[in-house]
Amino acid sequence: MTTGDTPQGEDMSRRRCLSALGAGLAALALPLPVAAAGRRPPNIVMIVADDLGSTDLGCYGATDLRTPHLDALAAHGVRFTDHYVTAPACTPSRASLLTGREHARALQRNVGMEAEETTLAELLRASGYHTAVYGKWHLGIPAAVSPLAQGFDEFVGFKVGAIDNYSHSYYWGAGVGHRLWKDDAEYHEDGTYFPDLVTREATRFIERSGDHPFFLYLPYNQPHYPLQPTVTSLQQVAHITDPARRQYAACVQVLDDALGRIVGAIAAQGLTRDTIVLFLSDHGHSTEPDSLSGGRSTPYRGNKGTLLEGGIRVPCVVSWPGQYPEGIVRHQLTSSLDWFPTLAAHAGASTAGLTLDGRDLQSVISSPQATAHAALCWTYGDLWAVREGPWKLMGGGEGEISLYNLDDDPGEMHDLRSQRHDRFRHLAEVRNNWAESLRADPTVIRELGL
Ligand SMILES: [Ca+2]
C-alpha cells in the first residue's frame, strides 16, 4: 500500500487524554436538547465511503454517476457543501470521526488510534446503545485497539487498508494473507462479496435491534481499490466511456445500492423516524495506481493525500425524518469532528471531561445563519492549511505558501499571497494559534509541522 493506507505518514502522534483539559473545551458544545421529552434516543447509522471524490454524487453535481439512494437521502435530509475531514488519508480521518478530536491527539504512531481514546461507540454504549461496526476498521490491528476494545459490541470486517472483495486477502507488499475478522478472531467466508457481507450483517443487526437504540458504524470499502464492481453495477454505468471512470462509477453504484438496502432495512423495521442516517467520505478520491484515478473533485483541485479541496472536502449528508429539516443545503464550515458532539447530544450522552475539537451542529442544521467554526485548520505530515470564510492559506512540503479565495477560485489556481498580505497575515495567525493550542497538549507529538 502507498501512503495513506499504511500507518506511515498518517500516524504521527502520541497522546494521552488529559481529562483535566477536557472540561474547558467540552464546554464549547452547545446545550443539549436531546431527543424531545418522552422520545426514545435515536438509532444512529454512520456510513463512510472510502476514497469517494469530493463531488462524486449526483446530489453534488456529478452527471455521469448513478447515485439515486444517496440523492434521495439528501432530498429528505441535510446536505453540506463545505464539509471537511481532518486529513486526506484513511486512518487519521477515521480516528477524528470516531473521537471528535484532531488526529494529532487521537493517533499513536504506527499503531492506529490510541487505546485510551473515548470513541463515539464507547460513549453511546455507556448510554445503553448496542454498537456494531461492519466494514473497514483501519484504526489498528492489535486486540488492544480493535473495535471490541474501542466500544463496539460486534465487528465483522478487516483492519488493514484494503482487501480483495472475494478472498478477503491482502495482496499488497509483504503482508499478503487472509485479513477478515469476526470480533477478535479470524473469520472465513470465501467468495462472499465484501460489500454484500457488510450489508447483510448490518441488516441482521437492524432486524434484531427491536426497540433498543443502536449505533451502527458502516465503513464500506467502496470505491477504494481493488476496483471490483459487480456485473450489474457495471451494466448500469455502461454509458461512461472512460474505462477508469466506468470502473470507479460502478463501485460508487455498489456503495449507493448498499445504502439503499440499509435504508430499506431500517424502514422495514418501522424505525425510519427513530434513526439518524449519516453519510460521508473519509477523504477525497485516490490517484494511486491501483485506483485507476477514476474519481473526480471538479471544480476543486487535488485528491487523497493533499490538503487541496479535493483531498479534504467531502460529500456529507444527514437525515433524521421528522426531526431534521428535509431537502436543505448548508454552506457553513463544518467538520467530521462535529458528529461526535452532535450525535452524543441527540443520544443524551454527556461529553463532560472529554477534550473535543468538534462542535454540536444542531444550530447549523436548524439555521443557515448559525456558525459552527469561524475557521478550520489542518495538519498532515509536513503539509498544513487553514480556511476562514472564502480564504484558504496552505503550505508545507516542497511548495510555497499559497493563498486562495475559494469563492472566486474553487480550483485553487491563483495564488493571492503577494496581493493580499492582510489576509495572509491574519490566516497565518489563526493557524499559528491553532498549532499553539495543540502544542499545549503534551500528548501531541510535534512532527506534524505544529
Ligand atoms: Ca480512504
Model confidence over 288-336: pLDDT tens digits? 999 999 999 999 999 999 999 999 999 999 999 999 999 999 999 999 9
Query: Is a pLDDT exceeding 80 seen at residue 230?
Result: yes
Return the closest-CA partner of residue 84 out of 392, 405, 345: 392
Mean pLDDT of 395-403: 87
Predicted confidence band at 124 (pLDDT cuts at 50, 70, 90)? very high
Q: What is the pLDDT of residue 18?
A: 32
- Render 189-233 in DSSP notation, one character per residue: -TT--HHHHHHHHHHHHHHT-TTS-EEEEEE---SSSS----HHH
By C-alpha distance, which of 38, 26, 40 is closest to 320? 40
Catalytic annotation, pick one of 138, 168, 283, 373? 138
The per-residue pLDDT for 108 is 84
pLDDT over 90 (residue 394):
yes
pLDDT in tens, 4-48: 344 333 333 333 333 333 333 333 333 334 444 567 999 999 999
Neighbours of ion ligand 1 (CB under 5 A): 50-51, 90, 282
- Every domain of the chain and the residues it spans: 40-373, 377-448
Say what the pLDDT of residue 3 is.
36
Predicted local confidence at residue 449, as pLDDT: 61
State the distance from the centre of ligand 1 to the C-alpha of 342, rounded, in angstroms: 23
> Tens digits of per-residue pLDDT, 427-439?
999 999 999 999 8
Predicted pLDDT at 450: 67
Mean model confidence pLDDT for the chain: 91
Under CATH, to which class is 40-373 assigned?
alpha beta
Give the residue-averaged pLDDT of 339-347.
98
Query: Higher pLDDT residue, 220 or 19?
Result: 220
Q: How far is the CA of 94 from the centre of ligand 1 (A)?
A: 9
Q: Give the lowest-confidence range in 344-353, 393-402, 411-420.
A: 393-402
Centroid of ligand 1 to alpha carbon of 162 (angstroms): 9
Q: Which of 17, 59, 90, 316 is catalytic?
A: 90
Q: How far is the CA of 335 from the centre of ligand 1 (A)?
A: 16
Please spell the DSSP secondary structure of 31-65, one letter per residue.
Answer: P---SPTTPPPPEEEEEEESS--TT-SGGGT-SSS
What is the pLDDT confidence band of residue 401, given thresholds at 50, 70 and 90?
A: very high
- Using left for φ > 0, alpha for ψ between -120 and 50, and beta otherwise, residue 348 falls in left
Residues 6+ apart with CB under 8 A from 102: 86, 96, 337, 357, 379, 438, 444
Percent of the chain with pLDDT over 90: 84
Per-residue pLDDT for 62 more than 60?
yes
pLDDT for res 51: 98
Alpha-carbon gap, residue 17 to 50, rounded angstroms = 28
Known active-site residue 414:
no
Q: From ligand 1's centre to the CA of 282, what distance in Å?
A: 5
CA of 89 to the centre of ligand 1 (A): 6
| 10/240 Cα distance (integer angstroms) | 34
Average pLDDT over residues 329-357: 97
Nearest to 199 by CA among 147, 132, 151, 148: 132
Tell me how far the alpha carbon of residue 311 lies from the centroid of ligand 1, in angstroms: 10
90 catalytically annotated: yes
Q: For residue 71, is pLDDT > 80? A: yes
In the reported structure, the alpha carbon of residue 444 is separated from the centroid of ligand 1 by a whole-number distance in angstroms of: 23
Give the whole-number percent of the chain exceeding pLDDT 70. 90
Distance between Cα 198 and ligand 1 center (Å) = 17
CATH class name, domain 377-448 = alpha beta
Q: How confident is residue 446, by pLDDT bands cut at 50, 70 and 90?
A: low
> What's the CA-to-centroid distance between 382 and ligand 1, angstroms?
19
pLDDT for residue 447 = 57
Q: For position 221, what pLDDT does the model report? A: 98
